[in-house]
Amino acid sequence: MFGLVCATGEERKAALRLLDEWRPVDLPLDAFLSEGEFGGSRVALVCAGAGKAPAAAATQFLIDRYSPEVILNFGTAGALAVNLRVGDVVVATSLLHGDIGVVHGEGFGRTGASVMTENGLACVREYVPDTSFLESAREDLAGLSLPGGGTVRFEPVVTCDQVVLSREFRDDLRRASGAAVVEMEGASVAQVAVMNHLPFVVIRGVSDTLDFDLVGLEELFRYMGESRASCFSRRVRFAAMNPAAMGKVGKLTRGIRKASDNAARVALRLVSNCCQP
């Protein structure tokens, strides 16, 4: 059994389109669970929403319910490296929390996640996937051709609880972490997997390049308790006041779809080939 974790409906649909067969399972949670098969292997997929807390909860749920041999987290990410294109896929060689640390007069100092040890509190700067899994993945994905000419790379990944569109902040994350992409779930999935002594793999498709920005993106989100009419009205106002931004919205939407498709394709390729226990 393989446990798959994703964040959004687009990512979930990308995986379900590739499964040989699947069925939905009712959950008393703010999440979607599907059970299925791919390449002769059983998989359970949880889509729990964006951010570290939903990702951690989804990962622990999968472990408690299914006892999977491997946890795979896939989805989208923003580029931190100049040579990444929309649709490229990054397989994480390490996962870092980019927004945990200490704020003082000199600015923000990153520490990584704090954990309890026999000798007291300590910080983990990064989580590293099992070496044998990574080497097997490198062999299996070498020369893989993705739709649209996307390529697969093996690079560090940094996780933040924000959609990072600022070029200045992206440059800072790149300098501080050496990561190729920034996303919102991977390090939390890795942290929970490590706590449960399970191997993990994190795969990210690039949805937007280093220079992409979209001021006001938050105005397009729908909030809990908000009516559809209220949400629609706010989005119409945003479109009327920011006509140039709507072209960027379309570009980002297409990028997310392409990144989701390619990340799901790589994740299930690993399920069927190199991640067999």
In the chain, the domains with their CATH numbers are 73-272 (3.40.50.1580)
How far apart (Å, rounded) are the C-alpha atoms in residues 17 and 275?
A: 20
Contact 76, 204 (CB under 8 A): yes
The pair phi, psi for residue 188, each rounded to 5°, is -70, -40
The SS3 call for residue 273 is: coil
pLDDT at 277: 57
Contact 100, 113 (CB under 8 A): yes
Span 105-130, pLDDT tens digits: 888 888 888 887 888 888 888 999 99
Contact 91, 137 (CB under 8 A): yes
Beta-carbon contacts of 208 under 8 Å, excluding residues fewer than 6 positions away, are 78, 79, 86, 165, 251, 252, 255
Residues (pLDDT < 70) of the chain are 274-277
Span 223-256, pLDDT tens digits: 989 999 999 999 999 999 988 888 999 999 999 9
What letter does residue 141 receive in the DSSP assignment?
A: H
pLDDT at 276: 63
Contact 194, 126 (CB under 8 A): no
Structure tokens at 104: 């003082």
Query: For 105-151, where are the E strands, in sequence order?
Result: 107-110, 113-117, 120-124
Query: For the chain, where are the E strands, in sequence order?
Result: 2-6, 21-25, 32-38, 41-47, 70-79, 89-97, 101-104, 107-110, 113-117, 120-124, 152-159, 181-183, 200-208
Q: pTM, whole model, 2 decimals?
A: 0.92
Structure tokens at 41: 């292997």
